[in-house]
Structure 1
Amino acid sequence: MREELGSQRLKGRVALVSGGLRGIGLACVERFLAEGAEVVLTDLEAPDTEYASATLARLGQAASYVSANVASEDDWAKVLAAVTERHGKLHILVNNAGIDLTGPVAETSLEGWRRIMSINVDGVFLGVRTFVPLMAASGADFRGGASIINVSSIMGLVGMSEVSGYNASKGAVRLFTKSIALEFAEKKMPIRANSLHPGFVLTPLLKEGFQRWVDKGVASKAQDLVDLMSSKTPIGRLADPAELASAVYFLASSDSSYMTGGELVVDGGWTAQ
């Protein structure tokens, strides 16, 4: 039974979530709104598509949307202009947008390698670089300051066969986060930075990845892979995106005011094995 939400403990805060139309990103947007925050979300989809327009209508007036590619400096400038014009502040930045890349390293193209790095790593860097000045100016509004949450993965902590590109990208996010956390602390900037390390979560990205394995003949159907990963996870199941959103909420709120440069692992016990 899910805990009742809506404490309004993020009232007065402005949050930005990249990759916010689906999966963990959308769950974070929904949780932030339930807790009283105003939220700007970005994704690749045009705002007038059927899915995007229906989702935005459901989220309500406290949410706004900017179509943006996180690997583009120009698009990040567009997002900054939208946030500044609408809110003038930013207290929470969730760099969530990401893609995966699977297959043997000898068969991985340079184009594929560069694409995953551009989104999973460059996208995080550009998001942070773009919003540090505004977050530094906004951070004094609340105890613990502004909060950056960079979504890494358990694949940023441990290796797995045939996901070398994804491993590398998520490992980069982990150490980038630690570096900026120290930089902000040393400069007495009111910004904390932590990384989130989800295990296997039932998201559209995971399902698409499993389907690619099915297409390669690894399994007869995607559900077989869900069942396999569930059996290998100590807690016995995959995560719901809302469970990751709860962890992000903790990192975004003043409850984590003494936490910076840390890594929050939410993986059902996978990395404890």
Structure 2
Amino acid sequence: MKEECILKLDNMYEKRLERRRGVQQTMERTFKRNVEKEILKQDLAVLTSGIASRSGVFVWCIHNYNERKVNHIAITSAGKNEMFMESPAFETPSGYRLCARLYLGGYSLGKFMSNISVTIQILPGEGQRYESLKWPFAEKINFTIYDPRGESDHIFESLEPSHRNITFQKPRVDDMTGMVKLNLPAGIPLFECYSNFEWSHLKEDKLIIIVTVGDAKSPLIVTENMRSRTVEKGLTEGDKIGATKKIPAQPPKTSTSSKVRKKNNDSCTVI
């Protein structure tokens, strides 16, 4: 009798696992289709207009992640400039134009702490809508490492622009050349440690990063169970370790930031 009960329990457990595996595979297939659809839409937009998206959402698929990471780390460790990947330009619904950069070998503190780093850069726009924008740029920028397993365990970090940081001012025209000068990028050196996402958030050697600006929302992201942090003021690429003073007339050396990690939306710890 006891053996029959154990056998029944084993069978029930196996069936439950099988159902769970089936659901998991269905969710992964759905994820893949949705991501491919978004990326195809962006690629077509870049070909026709040069702008990947005008919704404030950019889905970035990093192919051959491990090979690219090795190359980035090798170049960065050799003492040369930090190697980065740059996204196509994308816009917010209000008309701000941006592009993102990803440093698989890290920059600033990220180089020494096994972190990938991300930055954002404000690009000059065109037309009446661009000229009527309010400055400095003040919309929150969200970076999300997408969970391809369908478990919604996305890793999320937001960047709150500082009005004193020249990165978020309107790009200026050079008096000598008449050309628009690009602002320095600003971002998050310690976006995420390799060990926190490589084992779980890579699928077929691909890393998916979703950038959203302001109130824009990606249909690919479900906020349940997201691991999130907030950085109040971004660091520019020219940041120096230990410097604390910010001078509006030139690239700030560093900025005060606070990070909050939330798990399951029920507790947070300042780190």
Q: Please report the TM-score for the alignment, with normalisation by the length of structure 2.
A: 0.29
**Higher-helix-fraction structure:** 1
The structure whose Rg is larger is: 2
